[in-house]
Structure 1
Amino acid sequence: MLILNSGGTFNKRYNLFNGELEVPFDNHAIERILQSVEFKYDLAGIVYKDSLEMNIDDRKMLASIIMESKDDIFIIIHGTDTMSISAEFLSEIFKDRKIILTGAMKPFEIDKIESSLNLGLAIGFAKATLENGVYICMSGMIEPYEKIIKNTNLGIFELVK
């Protein structure tokens, strides 16, 4: 299993100098969460961006890393605003891998529970499910990417009706 960090709110930290939340160029939040487990997971920082800034080249880079990896299970930490776009992009390329995208509505620095829960659920699901596919793990749910959507009015992910 390979955990890929692409940034997003999950990773954001408050910058004391300009008063803004920024995506830092590190894996600090994920590393802190993974300290609580006995197993060592492979972790790579790929794109350190807010997902609204992600573009096709960033998605191609994610796909290239997945394609070249010896792993067949991937968890991608991703911003929530364009998570579904990346999930759809990856689903068109990969049928033979398990790819779970997760993130957080609030930064780990502000709310350690949500991001920890989402990453923990994603890891557990990745180990438990046998079916390949692209999934989204958010708001306590894990579903194939096309069955879950971000409700921007409520600030949660919910099942597509």
Structure 2
Amino acid sequence: MKILNTGGTFNKRYNELNGHMEVPFDNDALDVMMSSFIESIDMAGVLYKDSLEFTTEDRKMLANIIHADEEKVFIIIHGTDTMELTAEFLETVFDDRIIILTGAMKPFEIDKVEASVNFGMAVGYAKCCKQNGVYICMNGEILPYKELSKNRSLGKFEIV
């Protein structure tokens, strides 16, 4: 299993100098969560962006990273605004991997529970999942990406 951190709200922190929430160029939120794991899991930071800033080139780069790796199971920390677009793109590229996208509606810095639960569920599912595919893990659900969608008016993911 490998974790790829692309940023998103999950990772955002308040910048006291400019008063903005920003995606930092680090893995601090994941490092804190993973410090309580019994075993270590390989992790790489790959983009550090708000998902609204993702481009097709970013998605291609992410796919190239996955393709070049021998690992067959990936968890991608991703912003929720375009998580479904990235999942759809990755499904067109891979049929031989288990790829789970997860994130948070609130930054880990603000709400440690939501981000931790989503990430923990993704790790647990990744360890027992046998069916290749692209999944989304959000709000207590883990389903193939086409079956879980962000309801922007309610501010949560729900089954479709």
Global fold match (TM > 0.5)? yes
Q: CA deviation at 1:54?
A: 0.4
Q: Which runs of structure 1 show a deviation greater than 2 angstroms over 4 or more consecutive aligned residues?
A: none
Alpha-carbon distance between aligned partners in 2 of 1:132 and 1:126, rounded to the nearest angstrom: 10
What residue is the counterpart of 1:19 in the other structure? 19
1:40 lines up with 2:40 in the alignment: yes
What residue is the counterpart of 1:54 in the other structure? 54
Q: List aligned pairs for 1:2-151, cutoff 5 A.
A: 2-151=2-151
Q: CA RMSD in A?
A: 0.4
Alpha-carbon distance between aligned partners in 1 of 2:8 and 2:141, rounded to the nearest angstrom: 19
Alpha-carbon distance between aligned partners in 1 of 2:50 and 2:133, rounded to the nearest angstrom: 24
* Structure 1 residues not aligned, in runs of 5+: none
Output the amino acid matched with 1:86. Answer: T
Describe the superposition over 1:48-99 as per-residue Cα deviations: whole angstroms up to 9, x where unpaired.
Answer: 1000000011101100000000100000000000000000000001000000
Output the amino acid matched with 2:13. Answer: R
Output the amino acid matched with 1:85. Answer: L
Output the amino acid matched with 2:110. Answer: I
SS of 2:101's equivalent in the other structure is strand
Q: CA deviation at 1:128?
A: 1.0
SS of 1:64's equivalent in the other structure is helix
Alpha-carbon distance between aligned partners in 1 of 2:153 and 2:69, rounded to the nearest angstrom: 38
**Percent identical:** 61
